[in-house]
């Protein structure tokens, strides 16, 4: 059964990359010829130059105007767009011009056939939740950020051990000496958390993982908790200056004794997938898992 078709399409991506620029120009021409209403994100349009006649919009304006945002690039481009577009009633689909591409479904060499099917209503919807992170110093909010992949507590020095306490819903869980802690969503379970030995969580799971980074104990293991929990991290007083990073992009200073509160964001990102999208196929393809024996 087909869903509501998309009529207003916005294109975005870092078009200073030749491959991304080619894909954006191809999409713009093909969609315009088919009488879709198409706009381009302003920074992307500036990188393309004056050779187009499409209307340009800021990212926040895209959220208000478009039905669907087509993000051309890698997962990093998708993450950057997601932190803004999750605040709006808009679907997001990705064309992979990056490396792994866990969040970007469409092959740039064969993009139009599946994209046109999506625009006509043949697609599935998957809601991805984000994390909201808040740093409090002496009871006052000192910093705030959101992440679709992970929030990471770490030192501002390379390979430097820190000490902190972890609470879940005000229950003390553990104290730890390690290089830090990765707090990841199911979306982020195939990103930094995976490289740190964390579990892979299916995107439909309502769960969060806590993954220690090089802990100074053999008994320390990742733990999966309910996504509706509130996580509180407390930096020990004998630490140097620490940082909390959101998707490796937003970085906030954490001073000794500060507390970090991490919980589910109020808004979700609406990911749009073609009908033949299969999460296990994506994992098998991106991670090099074995194919069928029979």
pTM of the prediction? 0.93
Overall fold of domain 8-122+275-287: Rossmann fold (3.40.50)
How many Cβ atoms from other residues are within 10 Å of residue 157's Cβ?
Answer: 12
Residue pLDDT, tens place only, 20-63? 899 999 999 999 999 999 999 998 988 887 666 789 999 989 99
286 pLDDT above the threshold of 80: yes
Average pLDDT in the 115-126 region?
96
Q: Mean pLDDT, the chain, as a whole number?
A: 93
Average pLDDT in the 163-177 region?
97
Average pLDDT in the 101-114 region?
90
Boundaries of every domain in the chain = 8-122+275-287, 130-266
CA 48 to CA 31: how far, in whole Å?
Answer: 17
Determine which one of 17, 67, 75, 247 is catalytic: 75
75 is catalytic: yes
Per-residue model confidence (pLDDT) at position 124: 96
Question: Which H/E stretch holds residue 31?
Answer: helix 18-33
Query: Does CATH number 3.40.190.10 belong to domain 130-266?
Result: no
Contact call for residues 23 and 56 (beta carbons, < 8 A) = no
> Closest by alpha carbon to 71, among 35, 109, 27?
27
**pLDDT category of residue 135 using cuts at 50, 70 and 90:** very high
CA 100 to CA 74: how far, in whole Å?
Answer: 8
């Amino acid at each position: 059964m087909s869903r509501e078709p998309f009529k207003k399409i916005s294109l975005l991506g870092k078009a200073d990359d030749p491959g991304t620029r080619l894909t954006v120009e191809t999409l713009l021409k093909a969609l315009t010829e088919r009488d879709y209403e198409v706009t381009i994100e302003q920074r992307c349009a500036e990188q393309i130059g004056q050779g187009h006649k499409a209307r340009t919009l800021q990212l926040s304006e895209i959220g208000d105007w478009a039905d669907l945002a087509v993000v051309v690039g890698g997962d990093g481009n998708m993450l950057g767009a997601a932190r803004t577009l999750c605040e709006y009633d808009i679907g997001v689909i990705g064309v992979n011009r990056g490396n792994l591409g866990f969040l970007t479904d469409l092959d740039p060499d064969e993009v139009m056939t599946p994209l046109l099917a999506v625009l006509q209503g043949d697609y599935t919807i998957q809601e991805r939740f984000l994390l909201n992170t808040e740093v409090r110093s002496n009871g006052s909010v000192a910093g705030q950020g959101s992440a679709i992949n992970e929030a990471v507590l770490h030192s501002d020095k390379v390979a430097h051990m820190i000490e902190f306490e972890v609470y879940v819903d005000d229950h003390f869980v553990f104290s730890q000496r390690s290089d830090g802690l990765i707090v990841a969503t199911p979306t982020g379970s195939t990103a930094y958390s995976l490289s740190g030995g964390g579990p892979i969580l299916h995107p439909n799971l309502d769960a969060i993982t806590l993954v220690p980074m090089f802990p100074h104990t053999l008994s320390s293991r990742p733990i999966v908790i309910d996504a509706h929990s509130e996580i509180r991290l407390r930096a020990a007083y004998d630490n140097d200056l620490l940082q909390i990073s959101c998707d490796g992009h937003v970085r906030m200073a954490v001073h000794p004794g500060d507390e970090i509160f991490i919980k589910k964001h109020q808004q979700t990102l609406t990911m749009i997938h073609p009908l033949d999208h299969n999460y296990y196929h994506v994992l098998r393809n991106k991670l090099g898992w074995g194919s069928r024996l029979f």
